[in-house]
Amino acid sequence: MKFHSFLIKYGEIGIKGKNRYLFEDALVRQIRFALENVEGTFEVYKTRGRVYVDCVGDYDFEETTESLQRVFGIVGICPVVRLEDHGFEQLAKDVVAYVDEMYPNKNQTFKVEARRSRKNYPMNSMEINSELGGAILDAFPQIRVDVHHPDIMLHVEIREDIYLYSQIIPGPGGMPVGTNGKAMLLLSGGIDSPVAGYMIAKRGVGLEATYFHAPPYTSERAKEKVVDLARLVSRYSGPIKLHIVNFTDIQLYIYDQCPHEELTIIMRRYMMKIAEYFAEKDQCLGLITGESIGQVASQTMQSLAVTNAVCTLPVYRPLIGFDKRDIVKLSEEIETYETSIQPYEDCCTIFVAKHPVTKPDLERIQKSEEKLKEKIDELFEEAIATVETIIVK
């Protein structure tokens, strides 16, 4: 069956009351963005507590539903048939034809679930259910009614027009991006940080990202990989403003001045500081990292505390309690995994010590950082001044 319209179901939580329209507007905007690259002409609109996508002319069903499945806030995508109201008899005929075409195998159970939003319709929902149910039973001797666990749940919504659907393709849930401000993702080329960005975006938060590279120790290709990852995440989050920071001189300076076992932790503190600078400049309300307790030396409870201590913005770590294999599974689901595992050097791994501290002490680290005071401000300014900023979508 060829559908020309989708009814979009969205979660009700958190959208009641006077903010509902903000939620719906953001949802419409994100759907439009998701369909931008799908071939076809789509009209996305909201009307009386419903969001619809109308497909004008030809379009690819699979590609369209796959794109919609990446829009946070959607809980269900229902391919819908829209009928003009030409009286109940015509409706019964159309419903029977719909069942016939959609379900060639009639050896199934069904239930009609009518909803009457237009109260001047001459029958109430109960009557519509039983009359349409009767018409279907008359038409197909094999089909049976099951009101508790039907194979086919036939929804009939009486509005200005009448909407018929029985298929609900699951959406990702969450909240439409843009309903919950913006945050700055520290995006590396690894497996974790793209997943972390995805998870926060799923709660309605728009993303910016900062990537630190260290040319010539890291290659152009490593940078391209991060841009690719940002692009993959943007399929869910919408466009991402990506700040690419040249971290080489800061890294070399830390390497020269500080104890090597403290390199990673000090470096991570400067990454946070720089990311926070761009975050505050663009009104981001928090930082996001892909850290998880105990994953590596720089992610022990003590290390996380020391890293955290440089930030004034809240740091969101959605993967904090995840095992690596759970993160890998998620990254496969959101399709960032294959890109993440491409083998390009990371700026952190180049200067790592053999035995990094696992229980750093804040005062000691701050003391080590004092050795940087001569040049670090200047290097910080330079890193900020030479940032390369691109919009990834």
List contacts with ligand ATP (CB under 6 A). 186-188, 190-193, 210-212, 271, 289-291, 295-296, 298-299, 346-348
347 binds, among ligand ATP, Mg ion, none (CB under 5 to 8 A by kind): ligand ATP
187 binds, among ligand ATP, Mg ion, none (CB under 5 to 8 A by kind): ligand ATP
Distance CA 2, CA 205 (A): 35
Distance CA 90, CA 252 (A): 77
Q: Which is nearer to Mg ion, 174 or 190 (CB)?
A: 190
Tell me: does residue 197 bind Mg ion (CB under 5 A).
no
Query: For the residues of 154-217, what is the DSSP string, one character each?
Result: EEEEESSSEEEE---EE---SB-TTSS-EEEEE--SSSHHHHHHHHHHTBT-EEEEEEEE-TTT
211 binds, among ligand ATP, Mg ion, none (CB under 5 to 8 A by kind): ligand ATP
Distances (CA, A) of 151 to 76, 100, 145, 221: 18, 15, 9, 51
Tell me: does residue 190 bind Mg ion (CB under 5 A).
yes
Distance CA 379, CA 133 (A): 75
331 binds, among Mg ion, ligand ATP, none (CB under 5 to 8 A by kind): none
Tell me: does residue 188 bind Mg ion (CB under 5 A).
yes
Q: Which is nearer to ligand ATP, 64 or 210 (CB)?
A: 210
Distance CA 100, CA 152 (A): 12
Min dist CB 273 to ligand ATP, Å, is 12
Which residues are CB-neighbours of 257 under 8 A, at least 6 positions away? 368, 371, 372
Q: Which is nearer to Mg ion, 188 or 218 (CB)?
A: 188
Which residues are CB-neighbours of 354 under 8 A, at least 6 positions away? none
Min dist CB 296 to ligand ATP, Å, is 5
Q: Which is nearer to ligand ATP, 97 or 350 (CB)?
A: 350
| Binding-residue total with Mg ion (CB under 5 A) | 2
- Name the site residues for Mg ion (rule: CB under 5 A): 188, 190
